[in-house]
Structure 1
Amino acid sequence: MVRNLLLIACVFLSVACKNEQENTPEESPAPEQLAQLLKDYYNEGLAFDVKKATDAGIATYNDQFPNTLSEAFKMEKQSYYEKYKSALKDIDATQLSDVEQMSKDVLTWDITINLEGMTFKKDLMPIDQMWSMNLDVNGYASAKNAQPFHTVKDYENWLKRVDDYLIWLEAAKKNMREGMKTGYVLPKPLIVKVIPQFEGLATSHVNEHLYYAPVLNFPESFSESDKEKLVEAYTNMVNHKVKPVHEDMVKFLKDEYLPAGRETHGIADTPLGKAYYTHQIKRYTTTNMTADAIHELGLQEVARIRTEMSKVMTKVGFKGDLFAFFEHIRTNKAFMPFTERSQVIAFYDSIYAVMKPQIDQLFSKQPKTPFEVRRTEPFREKSVAANYSPGSLDGTRPGIFYTPIPDVEQYNIFDKEDLFLHEAIPGHHFQISLAQENEELPEFRKTLWYSAYGEGWALYTESLGKELGLYKDPYQYFGMLSSEMHRAIRLVVDTGIHAKGWTREQAIQFSLENEAEAKNDIISEIERYMANPGQALSYKIGQLKLIELRQRGEEKLGEAFDIRAFHNEVLETGCIPLQLLEEKINRWIDAQLQP
């Protein structure tokens, strides 16, 4: 009897277990798990970076600007990273292809570096003269940037977004007051540059106000009724919201923040300290290099490039030392030929026309996204350098090379061929657009940005000038050397300011002695490094790695080395940490060597 009961029990349990197995869905294969995780990470992450969504042409958050400075926001963002960090551990890497493994590695890096960054209280210094969110929002307000103004809903979205942004601005002021009490405060020279950026928005008449710009150019499809309502709404927004908040900010900056500003200039002189600078080096170079090693590398590069500059000086027959040659280039009116801003844009168009026939020789894959050259908006052109604004993911908005032209008669062209290569083609426009157009990349990687790769690529492309038919004029070649010197100097002065106790004045003097930039431009650059420690290191570190990888391919493959294939291997990945790029190129070289 007992035996029979045991047999029945065993049969019952066996059937039950079988039924349970049949009713339990099979776990998705690792590639599918990863694909879904990457998709979810990207989509969910847009809520934490609404600017990225707008810049990519994704309209979901165009009416929002979350208070990124609030504790609730920061806690949610940290939980977001922790959730995906945990989920990554459950994916079996042995089932992944090389491309999928790369995506997993990139995501791991992205989560790790962002979580590390959240351990520092940098948000107690949320506003500076170049990098802060208020400048991005002001760019949107101009109606010439990524924020769309095509429909009535677009115009209404912007009104809502401005309301959110003004909450952020008040939170920024609150944080800055807390920073004043605890030592997290900007150096005084930077505060001096911030004040005018707010003054213009506090005092401009409504019809001339930046935030009124969208209603000056309504689409033809708008009804008169819609126009009247929007004009009233935008007038109210400017007069009763934007201007009062900016008036309060100007008063705060002048009366409270400037007097409390730091007399010292490096980040080590704040509670963020050397640990934050180490983090910034890692974030921006995607390496574990030390400040000392980077400083020494910079000094070596400065010496090497000075030697090349001297050769050019000899070639053009200049009598005098290198410093005198710098002054000659800075002040020679022959290099300042323009009287109208439209001539500057035409000049860049002519550079592109020279390059076009040669581009196919170096690049088999070229972007479909259109491209334009534009003048930097007047409200910010006195305090920013030339830059590239990516096109939208769907290709409907072009990539734009912005060049500041505050004084057209002082616009010096000696270094502008290499500037076009860097900011436009085949620099940022090729690299960013090809990544966005690559259907094999998950959305997460299409808009990812690592400065060492992105800026390293752009600086690397400056060295392609002769291959692209440029630098025939020795002064333009000297301009390329000057730009490379500029990035080499950054290795020295950025580490000098933030790790070696250099003052702003020391850094300015070192730059003046080693490059041909005008003094005012050099001052703006040094203050840029003060505001965002480590960012300036990424260019040269990335460029040197790309040159190293190209030389490795040329040496190992010999006549079999295909420069177009090499460029494809680099560009098809999108932005990735340099270590991952090096591993990929090594695999490519090894594959070419296989019989």
Structure 2
Amino acid sequence: MSLSDETFRAMMDWRPVFATVVGVPGWDDRLADLSVEGEQALRARLTDILGRVDASDEDPVAQDVIRHQATSIITQIDARLVEHTVAAALSAPVAELLSVATQVDFSQRLPAVPTYLRQAEERLLNTDRRPLRRHAVNGAAHLERFLASPKQEWEGDADLRPAFARFREVLLGLPGRDDEQAGLCWLPEGEANYAKLVRDYTTTSYTPAELHELGLDLMARLREEYAEIGSRVWGTSDVQEIFQRLRTDLLWDNANEMLSSAVEAIERAEAEAPNWFGRMPNARCEVRFVPEIDRESAPLAYYLDAALDGSRPGIYFLNPLGATERSRTLSEVVAFHEAVPGHHFQLTIAAETELSNLRKFAFIDAYLEGWGLYTERLADEMGLYSSDEARLGMLGLDAMRAGRLVVDTGLHAFGWSRQKAVDYLRENTVMPEPEINSEIDRYIEAPGQALAYMVGRLEILRLRAEARAAMGSRFDIRAFHDLVLENGAVPLSTLGNLVTAWSERI
């Protein structure tokens, strides 16, 4: 077995449900081993892999990916996030299980569910770390909605609900942290763990302080763009007035409008894409509403990978909950990020290459989310936005990602309270109040992940500009995009090496 394959097996042992999502056989009867013993055994395997990378016959790109993936999982294990991640967001082990169970064939792993829940309980009850009190209540409420619902198809004949009810009681009995101590820096080894998570998620040497300042600078520049477009749309350059109008004007009349707008945006993107990409994905992208049972806890939108065997297309899920309180200006930009030419192109094209499974499915957020955010501005270059109002939506998501640099580091490195983080986004973005709260809770429970978006996008833009300057008239945007996508997820430094070699070779 090659070292790439060995690393991929370890990755899927860490996230076995993901293997089912993308259609890789061999893990359909398994759930992650959340026990301390299981995690430490996996850690030992990964440490052994790291010790053999340099002497392996893997090519340099594969070696870089192996190093990142092994180190990343070790970092996650050492941070012990499972011991205080309990809310209804997808980063929480039990909430993630309930969400994914409705999307894939779960029948073979039903016998593993009680053990998985028991392991999650044991980690929560035997630790010197505590979740945020509000997150424990939030996670319990999610389980209460599940327990109150009719038995779902994925549960089959298994009697799983007593185990979920027991886990709910554990959550309600946990001593939680208050909102003043929301970040990782308030937990044992928190500052050191956060620094490692920052390196893992950004694949750079940025410090939390540098990222915090970068976010502040970007936010200031975005205000200038708001003023420019706001003057055209509403005849005002007053940013707070523009924010207020974005929060109160241009809302959906109903959820079906939201769905049809997304479908239309994706169809426009698919029609224009051949002018910007040499390689197109074979699998299609469908747009669906989030299943009703998951709407209370699901984000505004997310993408589910297409299955390798063609049995399921890529799916762009939209959450219709509270549609009439949401701004229609966000519809197009989110569709471009999550679907076309964003994650659907990125993940499907990689999966359809001859790359190893390691390269097709590596978890490297700076690359993955950096591309998604890059395509939001690329869509403007492609002429995909239907109006200046839609471009204001593009700025709205830009501000959210710049704000993430500020509040994620604020919470986890500088000791911000949850309320201070909420207030910052309220003052500097047009996000509605429910979304601000769900976003902040997500950042608290997934330290560092929110940093990947803007860092990755800025690096892709920098590499593109450098290649264009070096190549002049030889630069081909279609070939650049194909290069970025056909190599799968890689650390940003590796992507830089690939782009430099390409620009010098062509």
Aligned runs of 1:193-592 on 2, under 5 Å? 193-204=138-149, 208-209=150-151, 212-214=152-154, 234=157, 237=158, 241-254=159-172, 256-257=173-174, 263-319=180-236, 321-332=238-249, 334-338=250-254, 341-385=255-299, 386-439=301-354, 441-592=355-506
Q: Say which one has the larger Rg.
A: 1
The C-alpha deviation readout for 1:95-116, integer Å capped at 9, x for no partner, is x7xxx22112211222233334
**1:415 Cα deviation from its structure 2 partner:** 1.5
Confirm or deny that 1:133 pairs with 2:93: yes
Query: Quick one: distance in 1 between partners of 2:322 and 2:6?
Result: 47
Distance 1:41 1:576, change over 3 A: same
Query: Quick one: distance in 2 between partners of 1:45 and 1:543?
Result: 25
The C-alpha deviation readout for 1:212-246, integer Å capped at 9, x for no partner, is 3248xxxxxxxxxxxxxx6xxx2xx3xxx322222
**1:303 Cα deviation from its structure 2 partner:** 0.4
**1:353 Cα deviation from its structure 2 partner:** 2.7
3-state secondary structure, aligned to 1:128:
coil
**1:567 Cα deviation from its structure 2 partner:** 0.5
**1:587 Cα deviation from its structure 2 partner:** 1.3
Query: Quick one: distance in 2 between partners of 1:122 and 1:214?
Result: 27
> Does the 8 Å CA contact 2:142/2:297 hold for their aligned counterparts?
no
Confirm or deny that 1:178 pairs with 2:126: yes
> Does the 8 Å CA contact 2:82/2:93 hold for their aligned counterparts?
no
The C-alpha deviation readout for 1:58-109, integer Å capped at 9, x for no partner, is 342222225x2223312321232133223324336xxx7xxx2211221122
> Does the 8 Å CA contact 1:186/1:262 hold for their aligned counterparts?
no
3-state secondary structure, aligned to 2:292:
coil
Distance 1:528 1:79, change over 3 A: same
Query: Quick one: distance in 2 between partners of 1:505 and 1:71?
Result: 33
3-state secondary structure, aligned to 2:240:
helix
Query: Quick one: distance in 1 between partners of 2:448 and 2:356?
Result: 28
Distance 1:48 1:284, change over 3 A: closer
Give the TM-score normalised by the residue count of structure 1: 0.81
Query: Quick one: distance in 1 between partners of 2:244 and 2:10?
Result: 52
Q: Which moved more, 1:466-475 or 1:363-372?
A: 466-475
Q: Which residue of structure 2 aligns with residue 3 of structure 1?
A: none
The C-alpha deviation readout for 1:528-569, integer Å capped at 9, x for no partner, is 101111000000000000111111122222222100011011
Tell me which amino acid in the other structure corresponds to 2:411.
I
Indicate which of 14, 18, 23 corresponds to 1:57.
23
**1:327 Cα deviation from its structure 2 partner:** 1.7
> Does the 8 Å CA contact 1:388/1:399 hold for their aligned counterparts?
yes
Confirm or deny that 1:109 pairs with 2:68: yes
The C-alpha deviation readout for 1:166-215, integer Å capped at 9, x for no partner, is 21212212221223xx2x111123223212111123333xxx23xx3248
**1:409 Cα deviation from its structure 2 partner:** 2.7
Tell me which amino acid in the other structure corresponds to 2:461.
I
Query: Quick one: distance in 2 between partners of 1:427 and 1:137?
Result: 25
Tell me which amino acid in the other structure corresponds to 1:245.
A
Give the TM-score normalised by the residue count of structure 2: 0.94
Q: Which residue of structure 2 aligns with residue 38 of structure 1?
A: 4
3-state secondary structure, aligned to 1:388:
strand
Greater length-normalized contact order (CA 8 Å, ≥ 6 residues apart): 2
Query: Quick one: distance in 2 between partners of 1:308 and 1:55?
Result: 39
Query: Quick one: distance in 2 between partners of 1:44 and 1:274?
Result: 27
Query: Quick one: distance in 2 between partners of 1:515 and 1:122?
Result: 28
**1:317 Cα deviation from its structure 2 partner:** 3.1
> Does the 8 Å CA contact 2:373/2:454 hold for their aligned counterparts?
yes
The C-alpha deviation readout for 1:354-399, integer Å capped at 9, x for no partner, is 2333211100101111211111122222223211111112232111
* Unaligned runs of at least 5 residues, structure 1: 1-34, 149-154, 216-229
**1:44 Cα deviation from its structure 2 partner:** 5.5
Query: Quick one: distance in 2 between partners of 1:248 and 1:375?
Result: 30
Confirm or deny that 1:147 pairs with 2:105: yes
3-state secondary structure, aligned to 1:374:
strand
Tell me which amino acid in the other structure corresponds to 1:187.
L
**1:488 Cα deviation from its structure 2 partner:** 0.4
Query: Quick one: distance in 1 between partners of 2:478 and 2:80?
Result: 44
Tell me which amino acid in the other structure corresponds to 1:78.
R
The C-alpha deviation readout for 1:506-534, integer Å capped at 9, x for no partner, is 11111111111111111111111011110
The C-alpha deviation readout for 1:392-433, integer Å capped at 9, x for no partner, is 122321111111111333342111111111000000000001
Query: Quick one: distance in 2 between partners of 1:126 and 1:356?
Result: 38
Root-mean-square deviation over aligned CA pairs: 2.0
Q: Which residue of structure 2 aligns with residue 75 of structure 1?
A: 40
The C-alpha deviation readout for 1:459-498, integer Å capped at 9, x for no partner, is 0000122333322411111110111111001001111111
Query: Quick one: distance in 2 between partners of 1:527 and 1:419?
Result: 20
> Does the 8 Å CA contact 2:17/2:30 hold for their aligned counterparts?
no
Query: Quick one: distance in 2 between partners of 1:349 and 1:123?
Result: 37
3-state secondary structure, aligned to 1:366:
coil
> Does the 8 Å CA contact 1:126/1:172 hold for their aligned counterparts?
no
3-state secondary structure, aligned to 1:287:
coil
Query: Quick one: distance in 2 between partners of 1:539 and 1:61?
Result: 30
**1:45 Cα deviation from its structure 2 partner:** 4.5
Q: Which moved more, 1:109-118 or 1:486-495?
A: 109-118
Distance 1:61 1:356, change over 3 A: closer
The C-alpha deviation readout for 1:34-67, integer Å capped at 9, x for no partner, is x72322332455344311221121342222225x
3-state secondary structure, aligned to 1:379:
helix
The C-alpha deviation readout for 1:428-452, integer Å capped at 9, x for no partner, is 000001111111x111111112110
**1:351 Cα deviation from its structure 2 partner:** 1.2
**1:259 Cα deviation from its structure 2 partner:** 5.5
Query: Quick one: distance in 2 between partners of 1:71 and 1:170?
Result: 12
> Does the 8 Å CA contact 1:456/1:540 hold for their aligned counterparts?
yes
Identity of matched residues, % = 28
Distance 1:351 1:185, change over 3 A: same
Query: Quick one: distance in 2 between partners of 1:50 and 1:125?
Result: 21
Query: Quick one: distance in 2 between partners of 1:354 and 1:45?
Result: 36
Query: Quick one: distance in 1 between partners of 2:322 and 2:18?
Result: 32
Q: Which residue of structure 1 aligns with residue 112 of structure 2?
A: 164
